[in-house]
Amino acid sequence: MITHFDKKYAKFSNVINVNLEKYISIQKDAEMPWASLYNSVKYSLMAGGKRLRPVIGLAVAEMLDCDFEKILPYLCAIEMIHTYSLIHDDLPVMDNDDYRRGIPTNHKVFGEAKAVLAGDALLNSAFETMLSDVSTSDLNEYKGKVDAMQFIAKASGINGMIAGQVLDIDSEGKKISESTLKQMHKLKTGALIKASVLAPAYICSATGEQFMKLEMFSENIGLAFQIKDDILDVVGNFENMGKKMGGDEIKNKSTFISMYGLEQSKVKLREATRNAISSLDIFGEKAAFLIELTEFIEKRNK
Ligand code: GRG
């Protein structure tokens, strides 16, 4: 049965797809001899994917009564950065995966060199997209947008997602502490999810209290997302996930499953979900869709 939530999620992810297509098309110069790289970029960017991060961002903006047009360049930029990270993570030199989003990984189709460059191009396209919006913005929106952009840069940077990936690589085959595991995920996946919540908070001028609550919310959904991702690597399947499962154990990765086991991981997932939802109390009924999204993160099978 298709629920009201499903319809709204599909509507929001469609808004994102339309805008991603728009922003990435601006970058294409068909006359140029390197235009073929654009096919590689588009192959991964438009391959589907849940669009969870930008959908969360739209839900936050709606809750704050904020115009979607103001935040779309920033949310699409986050999805571009996320896609770049997946392309690079799938490379033989990293996780060496053959499938992603239900289709062969970028390097399987375009070769490793072009996959590296497609990732690089997406990262830069993200910043071009945001900067081109900032440069034409009203002065009264300028500060929030620059703050959002700075947050996104840090979240994906050397002390953010990239740091998390370094910890992930360095922890393979080792026994790591609980705090290192948490820090690794906070950086590797949590930071960009946090940016999806806080970029709209900056741009939509959230109050100090709203900002603080959204920060708590984002940290808890980041944790819930990662615990669920680790659970799905054990119980998920290719049809739903669009990639091979079970890789964490084969690669001897440090995960919530290797640290706590499946049942205890489910308890921790429930706890993080509950904490995320309770940090939305101050928003009252306006938080309804964001609460459903949080429950989706807990219950998803893809
Ligand atoms: C290569 C710099 C660099 C970083 C890679 C985030 C990351 C760091 C790698 C991705 C590896 C991975 C599978 C991490 C687990 C969490 C995660 C990001 C899952 C995929 O995200 P979803 O489920 O994917 O939102 P879709 O395809 O729906 O967008």
CB 84 within 8 Å of CB 115: no
Looking at the whole model, is its pTM more than 0.85? yes
**82 CA distance to ligand 1 middle (Å):** 7
DSSP 256: H
Is 202 in contact with 145 (CB distance < 8 Å)?
Answer: yes
Q: Which of 273, 237, 233 has its CA nearest to residue 253? A: 233
Query: How close is the Cα of 189 to the center of ligand 1, in Å?
Result: 7
DSSP class of residue 262 equals H
Residue nearest to atom 2 of ligand 1 (CA): 162
Q: Which atom of ligand 1 is nearest to the CA of 79?
A: 29
Distance 162 CA to ligand 1 centre (A): 12
pLDDT per residue as tens digits for the range 132-165: 999 999 999 999 999 999 999 999 999 999 999 9
Contacts of 115 (CB under 8 A, 6+ apart): 40, 87, 88, 90, 91, 105, 106, 107
pLDDT digits (tens, 9 = 90+) for 30-43: 778 888 899 999 99
Confidence (pLDDT) at 137: 94
Residue 179 has a pLDDT of 93
pLDDT at residue 82 above 80? yes
pLDDT at 240 over 80: no
Q: Is pLDDT larger for residue 22 or for residue 247?
A: 22
Q: What is the mean pLDDT of the chain?
A: 95
220: left (phi over 0), alpha (psi -120 to 50) or beta: alpha
- Atom nearest to 164 CA in ligand 1: 8
Task: Provide DSSP, 28-60.
Answer: --TTSTTTHHHHHHHHHHTS----HHHHHHHHH
Average pLDDT on 10-39 reads: 91
Rounded CA separation 292/214 (Å): 16
N-terminal to C-terminal alpha carbon distance within the chain = 17
Please tell me the predicted confidence (pLDDT) of residue 279: 98
| CA 79 to centroid of ligand 1, rounded, Å | 11
Dump pLDDT digits (tens) for 249-270.
777 888 999 999 999 999 999 9
Mean pLDDT on 100-111: 96
* Higher pLDDT, residue 29 or 283: 283
Average pLDDT of 53-81? 98
